[in-house]
Structure 1
């Protein structure tokens, strides 16, 4: 039997266990086979999953029962570490809700990564094999990255630059082990502890975390479907004396919004007037749906824009390769921070990533990806409209991986999240994407995950939960 059959049995047994008294006997494997028309292997997989979750216990020769007493691990006192470590620099959670592991039968709408079938798996596998046959498998990479990969990123940005703008050179490109490390270096090297950083609200939770870890003071700027109001931004620069603004002008996480070209140019002009930097997180460059990416960095040739572009979401989470494009002394300060933290990025990963993105099949893959993301986005939106009408999407995202969903005023979001999880639907509470207090009750739903055929089921659960909370 396939994984769907196992998941169905597991899901129904978990619902039964939730209402069964401790010690209740679970139906025998033979009874389950008859009830679900499943093979012995399928039933055994479901029972093994229940046991691994700590929900049931097997008694040889007797049967399987709902666990009555949780297994208690040995208690160790780590209190001494509290004194040794002192107060934390940041009160952010250890893991974001988007990083949680969930049961195999759950409908996972919380993750920030695309499903396996949306990735160029064959290209990646072939590229890794080829890279393993080269010197990259044992050689140390230059601190700034493989020259060929630097050239590719520089050429990509230059291709979108208007006439009269001097494009970046290969030297301006630094290869990173993912864009998250780039954010940390930028905030440490260009902003500094205790200094203000302007940041969109809502925005990427990882940027909020990186800023907190760097000791940076955040100054939120409200951002609507078309980005921040330039007047609000200008006032914030004047009031705070900030020298940097972090933003996602293209397919923002969590909203999927894209700034109009005029808005981006207005923001760039304000940044120039205040002698500041725009940190442009172009994480979703390859995840377009209804529009094409328009990086603001393509309009900058005097070093005001620090651009980040990642391949992690579009190529493979295992190939954590990204690029940072910066000019002048800012580039040198960031490079010094990167060298102190990681020295260099694995040449093997860089070679494999370069192989993938320079194959003709890469462009073909991106065209197909656009259509698949559009179909999944539209299916989830339609499912919410039909089954959860009070869950409101202000504007469908034009790219990216997520829906930003407004819930009715007064909704207890954390409770909604918990109640949905009890029924097997995992969603992310929106508070993590706000650098200060949330402006309303929101959840984020990823439409690029596994099993889009279960979107209507997930929407029904969300709708039912919201109705019980109304």
Structure 2
């Protein structure tokens, strides 16, 4: 072991060895471990420090290190009372307010980490090989040495970062029209519970991103699903839902929608904004995929907020998807009193986003390397999509999918009639590939005839294609 980064592997090996020792047994000295493993002194020190923190060993000054005595087991704790205590009683009367419901099962599925022998066609974040890690690392290292990175930032966010986002989003926005949040999911949750109250209806696309459904349930909102076509939510159905429910909140993903990949054109966008203005409803624009355009994509329509003359659009611009799951930075933009409401709710929930993270994001975005990083990612996504589509054509039944989005990171595919999406996903996992059942994107959770395939979490385009072949075997078995 000659690489200092191997300390974790060494710690795991030593844990297994020392765990078998009796309490009080002396463990080898630091020098003995260096000689035995051929590791650097730093590597051994970090491994031993980790075991010490875990309570496996203890250091006695002047005597050495020893196996700790086994910790006494905790007495059984009866937590059955918590079910009743955590239940929220909405009150009495005819019109009961729906319970706030924190169900993260579908959302959490997108964060699950399959085993090393499983091809991940489920995850929604870039594989490390696709992330601009050099750019992020250099920015964080540079920022970390600045004293202002450790000062308390303004609650609304760094002024310079808000300036950048205001210019990037467009629509004549200014600094005071932008709020910095801890990623797109936090922005969705904040927007829903700040604008609407428990029991209020919220209109969503169907199918839709599980994080939107989870945020709505967490805010106690009543989800009203509205059908989509190849350009997203359908205006006619949306207008009927607005009239029938009196909803004052609509949430859409206008660009490479998750999971369908649908993208709104200019005319559709104008129709939606006009409807929102006519009915006095806020239109939340979750623009999560703006920087995930492929090289063969047609020019995208500008954001909905550019077509808004009445302050109905609340725009969410996430920076996490094109960078790293750890750069949890998003901007929420809007005009008028709604921003005061959002800023107040954000302060109550979070107070502020850490300055060091905001400075890192700003250093990346405002630097000369950011446009190149976006182009590199665009080319890689195009290659992965092409390889995945070709594998689908060769290994899955005809008619599996009809839409090939020129952006985003996923494909929405159809499975054979009479096949359970969840059963198929489970069988696919047994064969070594993780995919997402379409029912995760349904507001009712009911079975669908769809699966979502993501091609960015696998190590390479070849791995994504191999995963599709395994999925083909799972489908063939059920045929």
Query: Which TM-score band applies after superposition, normalised by the shorter structure?
Result: 0.7 to 0.9
**Counterparts in 2 of 1:89-104, with a 5 A limit?**
89-90=100-101, 92-94=103-105, 96-104=108-116
**Which of 104, 108, 120 is the aligned partner of 2:120?**
108
Alpha-carbon offset, residue 189 of structure 1: 1.4
Is the 1:387–1:456 contact (alpha carbons within 8 Å) kept by the matching residues of 2? no
| Structure 1, unaligned runs of 5 or more | 1-72, 162-166
| 1:122 equivalent in alignment to 2:130 | no
1:261-286: CA deviation from partner (whole Å, max 9, x where unpaired):
11111111111111111100001111
Provide the secondary structure at the position in 2 that maps to 1:186.
Answer: helix
Alpha-carbon offset, residue 135 of structure 1: 2.2
| 1:82 equivalent in alignment to 2:91 | no
**Which of 135, 153, 159 is the aligned partner of 2:147?**
135
Q: Distance in 2 between matches of 1:78 and 1:118?
A: 44
1:369-405: CA deviation from partner (whole Å, max 9, x where unpaired):
1111011011101101101125612200121111111
Instruction: Summarize the Cα distance change of 1:244–1:453 in structure 2 as closer, same or farther, 3 Å threshold.
Output: same
TM-score, scaled to structure 2: 0.78
Q: Distance in 2 between matches of 1:439 and 1:308?
A: 30
Is the 2:277–2:310 contact (alpha carbons within 8 Å) kept by the matching residues of 1? no
Alpha-carbon offset, residue 255 of structure 1: 1.5
| 1:173 equivalent in alignment to 2:181 | no
Q: Which residue of 2 aligns with 1:400?
A: 408
1:195-221: CA deviation from partner (whole Å, max 9, x where unpaired):
011110111110100000000001101
1:139-184: CA deviation from partner (whole Å, max 9, x where unpaired):
00101100000000001122xx4xxxxx111100001111211111
Q: Which residue of 1 aligns with 2:289?
A: 284
Q: Distance in 1 between matches of 2:219 and 2:351?
A: 19
Instruction: Summarize the Cα distance change of 1:444–1:77 in structure 2 as closer, same or farther, 3 Å threshold.
Output: farther
Q: Which residue of 1 aligns with 2:429?
A: 421
**Which of 263, 286, 293 is the aligned partner of 2:268?**
263
| Structure 2, unaligned runs of 5 or more | 1-73, 89-98
RMSD: 1.8
Q: Which moved more, 1:358-367 or 1:146-155?
A: 358-367
| 1:272 equivalent in alignment to 2:277 | yes
Instruction: Summarize the Cα distance change of 1:228–1:285 in structure 2 as closer, same or farther, 3 Å threshold.
Output: same
Q: Which moved more, 1:73-82 or 1:448-457?
A: 73-82
Is the 1:168–1:301 contact (alpha carbons within 8 Å) kept by the matching residues of 2? no
Q: Distance in 1 between matches of 2:339 and 2:317?
A: 15
| 1:156 equivalent in alignment to 2:168 | yes
Q: Distance in 2 between matches of 1:331 and 1:229?
A: 28
Alpha-carbon offset, residue 323 of structure 1: 0.1
**Which of 432, 451, 466 is the aligned partner of 1:457?**
466
Q: Which residue of 2 aligns with 1:467?
A: 476
Is the 2:233–2:252 contact (alpha carbons within 8 Å) kept by the matching residues of 1? no
Residue-pair matches, total: 391
Alpha-carbon offset, residue 230 of structure 1: 1.0
| 1:372 equivalent in alignment to 2:380 | yes
Q: Which moved more, 1:437-446 or 1:216-225?
A: 437-446
Q: Which residue of 2 aligns with 1:211?
A: 216
Is the 1:110–1:446 contact (alpha carbons within 8 Å) kept by the matching residues of 2? yes
**Counterparts in 2 of 1:315-394, with a 5 A limit?**
315-390=323-398, 392-394=400-402
| 1:190 equivalent in alignment to 2:201 | no
Is the 1:226–1:259 contact (alpha carbons within 8 Å) kept by the matching residues of 2? yes
Provide the secondary structure at the position in 2 that maps to 1:360.
Answer: coil
Is the 1:201–1:223 contact (alpha carbons within 8 Å) kept by the matching residues of 2? yes
Q: Which residue of 1 aligns with 2:322?
A: 314
Q: Which moved more, 1:458-467 or 1:356-365?
A: 458-467
Q: Distance in 1 between matches of 2:165 and 2:419?
A: 44
Is the 1:406–1:440 contact (alpha carbons within 8 Å) kept by the matching residues of 2? no
Instruction: Summarize the Cα distance change of 1:75–1:409 in structure 2 as closer, same or farther, 3 Å threshold.
Output: farther
TM-score, scaled to structure 1: 0.80
Alpha-carbon offset, residue 76 of structure 1: 6.3
Q: Distance in 2 between matches of 1:315 and 1:102?
A: 21
Instruction: Summarize the Cα distance change of 1:401–1:361 in structure 2 as closer, same or farther, 3 Å threshold.
Output: same
Alpha-carbon offset, residue 185 of structure 1: 1.4
Q: Distance in 2 between matches of 1:315 and 1:113?
A: 9
Alpha-carbon offset, residue 436 of structure 1: 2.8
Is the 2:126–2:324 contact (alpha carbons within 8 Å) kept by the matching residues of 1? no
Q: Which residue of 2 aligns with 1:411?
A: 419
